[in-house]
Structure 1
């Protein structure tokens, strides 16, 4: 891929904000005509994840910084079996659109957390408390249930709620306080009448979820953020006795999760099966083999 194309994907207000731009189409077609397949992903973390699995001699990974809507528009715009899109499912419930592949469950991060190998490595490296591995894993999911319900309704009803940093602001006495959560969301969304919607959230919250529902409805960045806060709480307690332990950011834990996830783990996923089937059907080379 040309340096021009690589830089274009990194620039704000790039030609990808205007899908009618002929330069955009020409550059993509040049890449395809060179014999390479193209995989379009949502951002830098997706790019970092996939580049260790993808055959670079046969595939270019293109990262879009403006989200999944642009990924879908690019795939829809260019009708070629050699250009594919990979994106989070989030709360979408329909079938995968043509040449769009969803991560298992809600998103990339939840797919990583679902891996026993990955979670065990995070547990061993970052958690200093007394809970067992599976108890800790499910406790994080359960604490996030209410915010996950709110996110689901915001997505499905097009409320577009502002929820940035809300988890940090409602984490009180080592757990997410639901009353505080509602207050913080209301502060961020005065015009949305959050308190009037609370009965909707409460009704969903009263229903029992199985593990698949937690995996499907929990936002990955929420999970990593709360996990980092739980881990750092125990580190702070130990720091009262020793100043040698530092806290760990959510970004660091997310990076460690990606690093721990290897090809053997990828082969266990639905997205790998779907991409491998597509690879075979269209006689492409996508993955590193060996």
Structure 2
């Protein structure tokens, strides 16, 4: 009996180590199944397709059960356009992706400092809204952008709780309610950063747990631009009682699908004339 208990303890410890192991990268197989309940000839389905993101992910392959009529770029987002013929009841898309742990110190190595500052940064400073948020943003201004970002993350963690709503709220409305989901957290974070002249953009994609499940959930997070670092990913949605702070590293559990979040007309998938829903499953390959 004592030997059995020891073996059980060893197995539990091994499992916990595996779950918390910090690898520089992991390889994933992502399977998206689009179920089509009704279709006439040439109904349109547009699907977001993951692409390579420096320091974050590398797409090794993408396979479609129905060949796309076109794969194209909409701004910085990659999309597949598929016209569905009558009789097709599902489209299966499989991506083989390598996801890296982000290290902002590595991103500041000498070879990367030479990269040009994006010319369109002003596009990520556009904001119109509440005067109250302007006052709050000024109160959160620190001696450096990094300190300001930390102040904003702490403010959000202390003033909002995570709660999913059927309706989509602005970051300001969610702040007034004191609750929201990742969409509202990232929107409020972006607003307060932009009011402090920190270029910020919203990312949409999947977040998954390495060990608990192979079913990811749709998620939004942010990227801020800092000179000599480039675009830095930051997730303003608190994890439990964790107080968010400027991350030195970001775990490789974030799968990038595109920018602009729910403000994009395509969201995760877009259809014309189709009754569509989809499932997503992720399998870890290493």
TM-score normalised by length of structure 2:
0.31
Q: TM-score w.r.t. structure 1 length?
A: 0.30
More strand by share: 2
- More helix per residue: 1
